[in-house]
């Protein structure tokens, strides 16, 4: 950790960082979130980009390293609010570097003994938080992949013969249910798994983005009547844009009644399970069959760090195993049930556990809880502030740590909200975003959603972000948008 501090100091001497160092806690951040240039301009600025026939000197490599730092986005800056990840702490970073230095792969106990045991420890803790005790888990390369695991394991649970005979083994077309607000990974999974994008049934959600359980039940009945074979319902704990939590307890009742697997996409909002205060958002999760939970989002672990969890012990292995004899010899000199590689659809698997373990061990359960609570607190602080500040309009009360809102410049205030008015408002967020990219003061995403025109989607993921940063955000948007 001393060396990490030294590294930070080195950066300071180069002049890219400012360091605010409360005693030993290392909190460094870059002055600017980004130093943005158009692609062609940047290409011309990166003198060393091209690889040529000639070997390059170390000096030239170092020059390129400096450019990489200069022009990359500083996602660990406490004012990076653009996506659902971005925190950084020295313990996870150390875990990450050590992992890379050791360069292990997660298929067998013999090549990754410590990390195998470490994964088990993390699995049992996470399973416990969501009421899946005694279940099973695996690290996956991202939440989208975890959702696909959910779909594949669910299909295996109902039609194991598909593993050997393919989709030809089932007579009726399979179909799945998901909310209309779902992440696009469901569409990708359905396409890749041969279910077909047209066989995804989108269940209506209410005004605030939650799946409506009665609608789900109606759609399941309709699908049965049409000759479909439903097997999978995908619910969300924390939607990507609005941060809505589906009513898991009611949805799980519907699923039980119709014998469907319930998978919960908790990639974003699953971390609420660690908070006594906000766990209620996930009420009913213990009745689901599987879940994905991204530690690289709200838990603040560097990317990638995603875990697929299921209540059914052994099913991940049964569903995916292919018994490669050159890796998984049954007659090795140890208990080969510790060879977990065949649970994965990959062969080699990157070690993602150590950076999570380092942070969690350092913080303890209580420290992790206060991190999550801090982010929720900031989202509530910001939404309260926006309600009180002229020109800002909240889209809805936050559930997760997403705060979605419009900024209405003075030129548009107090007018009738006609179609033209909304068309004008739609251009405001992109203009403000361009302004902040230009000066690198912060980064925050915007998007339209359904019939809502472009609005800002503020997301809180960085433990170093403070209420002062929230105040700054409001001022900065006003500064950049006042004259539009
Ligand atoms: C981020 C996110 C995903 C995708 O996770 P990746 O790790 O980026 O693949 C899936 N679902 C939800 C709700 C998300 O917010
Ligand atoms: C489930 O829905 C969520 C969001 O609503 C989405 O992120 C995810 O991709 C979906 N996954 C599957 C496999 O249906
Ligand atoms: C792999 O081996 C296990 C245990 O011997 C067996 O149950 C399983 O069916 C095998 N899977 C494949 C794909 O051969």
What does the pLDDT look like over 356-373, one tens digit per residue?
999 999 999 999 999 999
- Phi and psi, residue 289, nearest 5°: -100, -30
Q: What is the mean pLDDT of residues 451-479?
A: 96
Which sign, positive or negative, has the C-alpha torsion 37, 38, 39, 41? negative
Q: What is the mean pLDDT of residues 261-276?
A: 97
The domains found in the chain, sorted by start residue, are: 1-31 (no CATH), 105-350 (3.40.640.10), 361-481 (3.90.1150.170)
Ligand 1 center from residue 389 Cα (angstroms): 32
Q: How far apart (Å, rounded) are the C-alpha atoms in residues 71 and 88?
A: 18
CA-nearest residue for atom 1, ligand 3, is 323
pLDDT value at position 205?
Answer: 87
Joined together, the tokens standing for residue 15 give: 């002049």
Expressed in percent and rounded to 5, the helix, strand and coil fractions of the chain are 45, 15, 40
Q: How far apart (Å, rounded) are the C-alpha atoms in residues 19 and 185?
A: 39
pLDDT value at position 1?
Answer: 64
Residue with tokens 């958002």: 281
Count of other CB atoms within 10 angstroms of residue 384: 12
State the closest ligand 3 atom to the C-alpha of 323, by its place in the atom list counted from 1. Answer: 1
- Can you list the alpha helix ranges (DSSP code H) found in 172-320? 185-192, 213-225, 248-258, 315-320
Q: What percent of the chain has pLDDT over 70?
A: 93
Count of other CB atoms within 10 angstroms of residue 214: 11
Least confident of 8-12, 115-119, 394-398, 444-448: 8-12
pLDDT value at position 25?
Answer: 27
- Is residue 343 within 8 Å of 312, Cβ to Cβ? no
Q: How far apart (Å, rounded) are the C-alpha atoms in residues 125 and 133?
A: 9
The pLDDT of residue 482 is above 70? yes
Helix (H) or strand (E) holding 454: strand 452-459
The pLDDT of residue 439 is above 90? no
Of all ligands present, the nearest one to the C-alpha of 186 is 2
Q: How far apart (Å, rounded) are the C-alpha atoms in residues 457 and 448?
A: 10
State the closest ligand 1 atom to the C-alpha of 296, by its place in the atom list counted from 1. Answer: 7
In this prediction the pTM is: 0.91
Count Cβ neighbours within 10 Å for each residue of 268-277 and write b for 16 or more, e otherwise: bbbbbbbbee
Give residue 26's pLDDT band: very low, low, confident or very high (50, 70, 90).
Answer: very low
- Is residue 427 within 8 Å of 272, Cβ to Cβ? no
Residue with tokens 């020109």: 391
The pLDDT of residue 257 is above 80? yes
What does the pLDDT look like over 101-130, one tens digit per residue?
999 999 999 999 999 999 999 999 999 999
Residue with tokens 């938080």: 129
Least confident of 153-167, 196-210, 272-286, 393-407: 196-210
- Is residue 82 within 8 Å of 443, Cβ to Cβ? yes
CA-nearest residue for atom 10, ligand 2, is 186
The pLDDT of residue 98 is above 50? yes
State the closest ligand 1 atom to the C-alpha of 237, by its place in the atom list counted from 1. Answer: 13
What does the pLDDT look like over 139-193, one tens digit per residue?
999 999 999 999 999 999 999 999 999 999 999 999 999 987 666 778 888 899 9
Joined together, the tokens standing for residue 38 give: 């158009």
Which residues sit with their C-beta closer than 6 Å to ligand 3? 321-323
Which residues sit with their C-beta closer than 6 Å to ligand 2? 147, 150-151, 178-179, 181-183, 185-186, 189, 234, 236, 239, 265
Q: DSSP string of 12-73?
A: HHHTSEEEE--TT--EEEES-S-----HHHHHHH-TT-S--SS---HHHHHHHHHHHHHHS-
């Amino acid at each position: 950790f001393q060396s990490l501090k030294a590294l930070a100091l080195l950066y300071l001497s180069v002049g890219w960082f400012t360091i605010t160092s409360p005693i030993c806690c290392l909190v460094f951040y870059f002055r600017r979130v980004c130093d943005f240039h158009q692609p062609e301009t940047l290409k011309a600025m990166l003198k060393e980009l091209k690889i040529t026939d000639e070997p390059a000197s170390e000096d030239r490599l170092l020059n390129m390293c400096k450019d990489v730092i200069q022009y990359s986005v500083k996602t660990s800056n406490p004012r990076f609010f653009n996506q659902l990840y971005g925190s950084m702490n020295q313990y996870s970073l150390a875990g990450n570097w050590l992992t890379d230095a050791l360069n292990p792969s997660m298929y067998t106990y013999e090549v990754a003994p410590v990390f195998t045991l470490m994964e088990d420890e993390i699995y049992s803790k996470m399973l416990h938080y969501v009421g899946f005790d005694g279940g099973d888990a695996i690290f996956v390369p991202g939440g989208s992949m975890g959702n696909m695991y959910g779909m594949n394991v669910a299909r295996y649970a109902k039609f194991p013969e598909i593993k050997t005979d393919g989709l030809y083994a089932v007579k009726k077309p399979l179909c799945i249910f998901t909310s209309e607000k779902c992440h696009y990974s469901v569409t990708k999974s359905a396409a890749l798994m041969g279910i077909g994008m047209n066989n995804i049934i989108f269940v209506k959600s209410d005004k605030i983005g939650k799946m409506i359980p009665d609608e789900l039940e109606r759609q399941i009945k309709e699908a049965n009547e049409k000759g479909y074979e439903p097997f999978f319902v995908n619910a969300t704990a924390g939607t990507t844009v609005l941060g809505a939590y589906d009513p898991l307890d009611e949805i799980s009742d519907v699923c039980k009644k119709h014998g469907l697997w319930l998978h919960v996409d908790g990639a974003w909002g699953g971390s609420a399970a660690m908070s006594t205060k906000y766990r209620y958002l996930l009420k009913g999760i213990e009745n689901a069959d599987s879940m994905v939970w991204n530690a690289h989002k709200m838990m603040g672990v560097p990317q990638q760090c995603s875990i697929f969890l299921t209540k059914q012990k052994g099913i991940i292995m049964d569903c995916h195993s292919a018994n490669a004899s050159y890796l998984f010899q049954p007659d090795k000199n140890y208990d080969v049930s510790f060879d977990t590689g065949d649970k994965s659809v990959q062969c080699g698997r990157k070690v993602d556990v150590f950076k999570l373990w380092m942070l969690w061990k350092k913080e303890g359960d209580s420290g992790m809880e206060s991190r999550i609570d801090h982010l929720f607190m900031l989202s509530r602080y910001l939404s309260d502030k926006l309600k009180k500040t002229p020109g800002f309009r909240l889209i809805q009360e936050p559930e997760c740590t997403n705060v979605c809102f419009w900024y209405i410049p003075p030129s548009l205030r107090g007018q009738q909200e006609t179609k033209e008015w909304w068309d004008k408002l739609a251009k405001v967020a992109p203009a403000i975003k361009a302004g902040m990219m230009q000066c690198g003061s912060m980064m925050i995403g915007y998007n339209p959603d359904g019939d809502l025109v472009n609005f800002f989607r503020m997301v809180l993921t960085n433990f170093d972000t403070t209420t002062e940063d929230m105040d700054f955000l409001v001022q900065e948007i006003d500064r950049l948008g006042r004259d539009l």
